[in-house]
Structure 1
Amino acid sequence: MKILFKRSDNALLPDIDAYIKYLNQDSMFDCYDSADLAGGYSLDDFDVIWEFKGLGGIQSDNHIVVHEYASLSTGRFAKLKNLIKNVRNPKPDLRIFLNEDVRKGFLFKDDIPETYRDMGLDQQFLNVSKTEKEFDFIYIGSISKERQIDKFLHSFSKAKQGKLHLVGAVEDDEIYTTYKNHPDITFVGRVPYKEIPEIASKAVYGINYIPDKYPYTLQTSTKMLEYSALDLKIITTDYKWARDFESIHNSKFYFLNDQADFDLGGIEDFPFENNFNAHDYTWDKVFEKADIKGKLKAINK
């Protein structure tokens, strides 16, 4: 099965790299990333077209089509956007959802085969050796008002708290303009995914700042997996998924209040605990749990 993973412009999607590495270990599969082909390909060269879904996509009777829904729609009218995708997106041969909540959010009621595939960890996060701590806090992810990171930065910047590094694309110029000259806040910018484990391991604390609103409360926080794998002390907003994750892994996180009040003294005195087993979340384990190979082989018959 020759598989094309379609990567939209500027999408990081380490999931694609993980899929290709995993599936290409099996001689039945031959996988490619569209971003590596520089436009020099035809869909007719492939048996399977794998799309990470927004709105639209290909309709083909000559290919196996896989639709992956790794998240629900965000922003204004998010639930309406989910409904539009339900109605407008072509029907694939297989759907893959992050979890049951994401599947329910799209309201599909047909009999198309499906599976759940959670987020996973690259082996790099398990291989990082103990490094000397160079700064206090790290935040990895989108730097935008949609994620309300400006609320956190406002609170953080009011007093001497320690050094904070922000890793990710800055999506709101106002945030950058406001804090770019702050002596304790460093905008690292967007970096290659392979560099993130080494950078993050140099922090003491990992910041998981997720708004307590739909759909974020229902979805896996990849940064929480990564922070836990690197044994960072986790500071997070208080929402359902984070509380469930803490309980499942018998860990202890510092939960920020609704005002994102940042109490350095309280954080330093807090009894953090991390009992997360990163080996259970490697991509190979995640793909095996989702039976990715089995699902592909079944629809290829």
Structure 2
Amino acid sequence: MSIKIAVEVSGKSFLPEAHVYKKRFLSLGFKCDIVPKDDYTPDSYDAVVLFHGFHPFWKKYPRFIIGEYHSLSVGRFSRVKDLIKRILNVKADFLVFLNKEVRDLMWFSESDNHVFRGMGFYPSARKSKNFQSREFDVVYCGSERAGVVREVEKLARLGLKIAVVGFYSDREIKNVKFFGRLSSKDAGDVVNNSRFGLNYTPDVFPLNIQDSTKVIEYCGAGIGVITNRYYWVNEFERRWNGKFISLDSIAHSSDIFDYEYVVPDVSELEWDVVVDSMFEKISAKLAPSDNRFSKNF
């Protein structure tokens, strides 16, 4: 009997990896559904992927749990929130962390039953229009964070045409079009119809150590990156040999158009590549030859 896996998602979260996981599980011969949190029957599944969040141990879950800690809490009492999650979240059989920092700051130790998995992009994002024929000068693709609208307004005042994907503003801004939340495909279409990509992440912990999906997607699409400066983006630029323009160096629209961008080759960050080593370990845990798992059936 084929093992049936649930990939649990919350309506508030944008999780492109959920669809990547489903595709990979199906290709490996497992059955897999993407299911809404708190609205599926755990007994109908043999295993579940949980994107933590808060998943208290006293609730019922499928018998094998893959738990993901892909971010740390933000705001007031963030470390207290993380400690509560660490103590009260259901114990997973296999763990996935964004990076070593997230693992360590969630008070987990090194183990054979975990992997690190960063963010990726869909390779179709690289199928772009001719640069000159694109509708938008700049795209921001991501969630609303403190300072984002301010930076968008600054660029719009320079006469640049801006696309914002991921949220709506409560007011109209000249030269700015808000698309709200879009599917991965539709968001990619907007990126491909833009000349440059804007990244703005407040330089505060833990946001400044976590992957910027938008930067990876912009590079995957082959467009120049406009960004503020903080630890992760500086390290990413250095590691991948990119060259991004800093927001604080822009005074005129010509500063953006005349800048000598270097868009790095990030083909190693295509989703199928990113999840390869992760799924080698997961499939071994789920395979019938794994006595620890198969004994539950």
**Both structures adopt the same fold (TM-score exceeding 0.5):** yes
Offset of 1:109 from its aligned partner?
Answer: 4.3
CA distance in 2, matches of 1:111, 1:244: 26
Contact 2:227–2:246 under 8 Å retained in 1? yes
Offset of 1:183 from its aligned partner?
Answer: 2.2
Quick one: which amino acid aligns to residue 140 of structure 1?
A: C
1:187 aligns with 2:181: no
- Could you give the per-residue CA deviations for residues 116-175 of structure 1, whole angstroms, max 9, x where no partner exists? 111122232144565731110100011233xx2133134335x333101111123xxxx5
Q: Which residue of 2 aligns with 1:269?
A: 258
* Alignment map for 1:200-215 (pairs within 5 Å): 200-215=191-206
- State TM-score, norm by structure 2: 0.87
Contact 2:47–2:62 under 8 Å retained in 1? no
Q: Which residue of 2 aligns with 1:33?
A: 34
The runs of 5 or more residues in structure 2 that have no matched partner are: none
Q: Which residue of 2 aligns with 1:49?
A: 48
Contact 2:123–2:220 under 8 Å retained in 1? no
Quick one: which amino acid aligns to residue 210 of structure 1?
A: T
Offset of 1:110 from its aligned partner?
Answer: 8.4
- Could you give the per-residue CA deviations for residues 211-259 of structure 1, whole angstroms, max 9, x where no partner exists? 11111111111111110111111001101111111112211100123xx
Q: Which residue of 2 aligns with 1:229?
A: 220
Quick one: which amino acid aligns to residue 55 of structure 1?
A: F
The runs of 5 or more residues in structure 1 that have no matched partner are: none
Pair 1:187–1:124, CA change in 2 (3 A): same
- Could you give the per-residue CA deviations for residues 162-191 of structure 1, whole angstroms, max 9, x where no partner exists? 101111123xxxx522xx1x2211111111
Offset of 1:38 from its aligned partner?
Answer: 10
Q: Which residue of 1 aligns with 2:246?
A: 255
Aligned to 1:4, the other structure's residue is in SS state strand
Pair 1:293–1:282, CA change in 2 (3 A): farther
**What count of residue pairs does the alignment treat as equivalent?**
285
- State TM-score, norm by structure 1: 0.86
Q: Which residue of 2 aligns with 1:166?
A: 164
Aligned to 2:194, the other structure's residue is in SS state coil
CA distance in 1, matches of 2:71, 2:271: 18
